[in-house]
Structure 1
Amino acid sequence: MRTVLIVLFDDVQSLDVTGPLEVFAGAEAWHGGSYRVLTASPDGVPVRTSSALTLVPDHALDDAPAPHTLLVPGGRGTRHPDRRLTDWLRGHGPRAERLVSVCTGAVLLAEAGLLDGHRATTHWAYCDKLARDHPAVEVDPDPIFVRDGRVSTSAGVTSGIDLALALVEEDLGRETALAIARHLVVFLRRPGNQAQFSAQLAAQTARREPLREVQQWITEHPDDDLSVESLAARARLSPRHFARAFRSETGTTPGRYVERVRLEQARRLLEDTGDGVEEISRACGYGTPEAMRRAFVKALGSAPAEYRRRFRPASTS
């Protein structure tokens, strides 16, 4: 049986705690004898979450049993961390077989020196600060979770559920993880490499309706003519005016936005369907497999076929 110890502190984000907790508790219910899930706070006294929910821990940190998996949630309480908590993590973190953080829990691990030399992520709003304050940590702002050896870190809030499901799948197999996901009514597989934002969320939504309509058109028709001239005509603007207005209102150029949408759609089709690379390249507007291959190598460092081998489950048909 693996002991999962979840650290609690005042102003913790409640979903950072309860999301992974429900996953591991569900695994224990489904596959008895697999996990013992415990919580602990510095003094063993109840803590008040950032949403005013009170959580009652099982133990004080100093009295908690040695964990197999030590999970550190995030929340407002990480902005000015309790020195007792970071000191405890510094002393006990190296003994855990698996270190896991959710959201800004990565900040606490970094403060304790446990992320030095590791690749890690956190909530998108705090990635720059984490990188600035802890230069020994290789911060990747894009994925929803990152696994680097015994250290696993996840982005904001619900991504902790995705990471917990990935850990359960590793420990107990895909069928158990799938059963838990079904029970929680969540997707089993949002792979860790998935971006924290979709292309539509990564860019700002344009203020003017014609530009918003163009953004939606691009998303729904990645295989269409998405040249600046064609998109400008759809927005009833000159190409020069359109390109300038689109960048001003969305924070990115039309071409870059189109690239993100096409790449995102191609990744989804590679992960979720058995369609061939040539068929996907046409459906996503690349035209040829070679054009799609160049886009994947440039953005992801791997060709489409290799990407599919890495991120598409063998059971997908």
Structure 2
Amino acid sequence: MTFHRVAVVLFDRTPMFESAVPISVFGEERPGLPSFDVRVIGGDGGSEVRTNAGVRLATPHGLDAVAESDLVIVPTYRRPPDEPPPAPALDALRAAYERGAIVAGLCLGTFVLAGAGLLGNRTASTHWAYAGLLARLHPDVSVRADDLYVDEGRILTSAGSAGGIDLCLHLVRREFGADAAAAIARRMVVAPHRAGGQAQFVEHPVPDHVAGDPLGATLDWAVRHLDRPLGADALAARALMSRRTFDRRFREATGTSPARWLLHQRVLRAQRLLETSDLPVEQVARRCGFASAVALRPHFRRLVGLSPAAYRQSFGRNPSVDG
């Protein structure tokens, strides 16, 4: 469906950047491009919200404006996002979806959509640091922590922070065409379409809430020894857990499986080496636990969206090195 009326639902104590993303994409008049009627709504019921930086934002519309919108966006939520969202906001989101509106959750806004029951038996993305929490609070959601956004038709979710820009531009591209999305991206001075997933931006591979326990210590150890043959059985033994308990605890903490987590960490290590060293890609691959450069390349391209050579050309300190 093509949308024109856009509702942006904000909550108290949420991050300012994420709150502004859909307003920046849809809220400006740009001659020759699609125009949108954007209504900023207070999800807590007030006429303003206060961001986690203390800045106050006006929310002149009430939740009744959700019922009049074609697209409803929840750009973020409180941190940590385990506080149940207000029931009236959840009711409004459910009603919007049931009458045919598109509903999107950006970053931690995914938790609000999950709280409304809109993500049951669906795939969803959120900020990588909270993917494990989303999987634990909502086990019926298939969490894709490595995707910039997930499009399930009338339900869409995105990764953290700038991932919301990717989702909003994707919506413009999907409904109004690539030229419109590219023009808006140029005005915002952002890429019209980013390749790869948010795994390329993850800097802290061990979630804070497992640091200090046997699982966290095991993950720390694994990150330091990625050049070794590692598997779930060996990691479970090191954590002094049965394989079944380890798998359960691991998925609760990270939102993914041990095998996928290890692969992501190896690709992340490869990224860092390509950025900061002049090592040939064959040596990069072996230092990251891959048998060869041939084994590294397809995984790197799938997760990052670029070949090792192209990645080094864009982000390495010495782009002339053959990757």
Shorter-normalised TM range:
0.5 to 0.7
Equivalent in the alignment of 1:164? 168
Equivalent in the alignment of 1:117? 121
Does structure 2 conserve the Cα–Cα contact (< 8 Å) formed by 1:45 and 1:56?
yes
Alignment-mate amino acid for residue 300 of structure 2: E
SS for the counterpart of 1:254 is coil
Distance 2:56 2:96 in 1: 25
Alignment-mate amino acid for residue 53 of structure 2: S
Q: TM-score, normalised by structure 1?
A: 0.66
SS for the counterpart of 2:30 is helix
Which of residues 81, 86, 93 is equivalent to 2:97? 93
Does structure 2 conserve the Cα–Cα contact (< 8 Å) formed by 1:121 and 1:143?
yes
Equivalent in the alignment of 1:102? 106
How much has 1:82 moved relative to structure 2? Answer: 2.1
SS for the counterpart of 2:68 is coil
How much has 1:105 moved relative to structure 2? Answer: 0.7
Instruction: Kindly report the root-mean-square deviation, in angstroms, between the aligned alpha carbons of the 2 structures.
Output: 3.4
Equivalent in the alignment of 2:243? none
How much has 1:73 moved relative to structure 2? Answer: 1.8
Distance 1:30 1:201 in 2: 39
Q: How many residues align?
A: 243
Equivalent in the alignment of 2:289? 254
Q: TM-score, normalised by structure 2?
A: 0.64
Residue ranges of structure 2 left out of the alignment (5+ in a row):
207-219, 225-268, 311-321
Does structure 2 conserve the Cα–Cα contact (< 8 Å) formed by 1:50 and 1:75?
no
Q: How does 1:5-20 map to 2 (within 5 A)?
A: 5-20=7-22
Equivalent in the alignment of 1:79? 82
Which of residues 300, 303, 320 is equivalent to 1:264? 300
Equivalent in the alignment of 1:241? none
Deviates more, 1:77-86 or 1:253-262: 253-262
The change in CA–CA distance for 1:257 and 1:166 in structure 2 (over 3 A counts) is farther
Deviates more, 1:8-17 or 1:197-206: 197-206
How much has 1:89 moved relative to structure 2? Answer: 2.2
Distance 1:53 1:96 in 2: 34
Alignment-mate amino acid for residue 70 of structure 2: H
Q: Name the larger-Rg structure.
A: 1
Equivalent in the alignment of 2:50? 48
Deviates more, 1:118-127 or 1:31-40: 31-40
Does structure 2 conserve the Cα–Cα contact (< 8 Å) formed by 1:31 and 1:176?
no
Residue ranges of structure 1 left out of the alignment (5+ in a row):
208-212, 232-252, 273-282, 285-317
How much has 1:40 moved relative to structure 2? Answer: 0.9
Equivalent in the alignment of 2:194? 190
The change in CA–CA distance for 1:257 and 1:48 in structure 2 (over 3 A counts) is farther
Distance 2:35 2:136 in 1: 39
Distance 2:292 2:22 in 1: 34
Alignment-mate amino acid for residue 264 of structure 1: F
- State the percentage of identical aligned residues: 31
SS for the counterpart of 2:180 is helix
Distance 2:291 2:201 in 1: 10
